[in-house]
Amino acid sequence: MSQQTSYSISVEERDIVVRFNRSCIDMDALGRFLDYVELEAMLHPQGFANAKRSKLTEEQAAAFAEEIDWDVWKEIKQNFLGE
């Protein structure tokens, strides 16, 4: 008995393509997940399984942390400023 999932994964040349059933996905959560995947790829350019040492410089890490802080502030500022 095969179980049907709400996603499919395929490999097309150099890309991995993941397709989701739109009705099953929270777009904000998906965006946060993809940000996490992108961060992991930056931290471990050889791949997650081969994570030995990050090639991310101190300056890049600081800039990325500032960007994350700004994105979080955009999400929560209405709680503090009533916007």
The reported pLDDT for the residue numbered 47 is 62
The 10s digit of each residue's pLDDT in 10-19 is: 999 988 898 9
Residues with Cβ within 8 Å of residue 19, at least 6 apart in sequence:
7, 8, 9, 10
The 10s digit of each residue's pLDDT in 37-79 is: 887 777 776 665 555 455 667 787 778 777 777 777 777 777 6
Q: Is the pLDDT of residue 1 over 70?
A: no
Q: Which residues of 71-82 are buried (b: 16+ CB within 10 A; e: fewer)?
A: eeeeeeeeeeee
The reported pLDDT for the residue numbered 81 is 73
Nearest alpha-carbon partner for 20 in 30, 32, 34: 30
Helix (H) or strand (E) holding 6: none
The reported pLDDT for the residue numbered 12 is 93
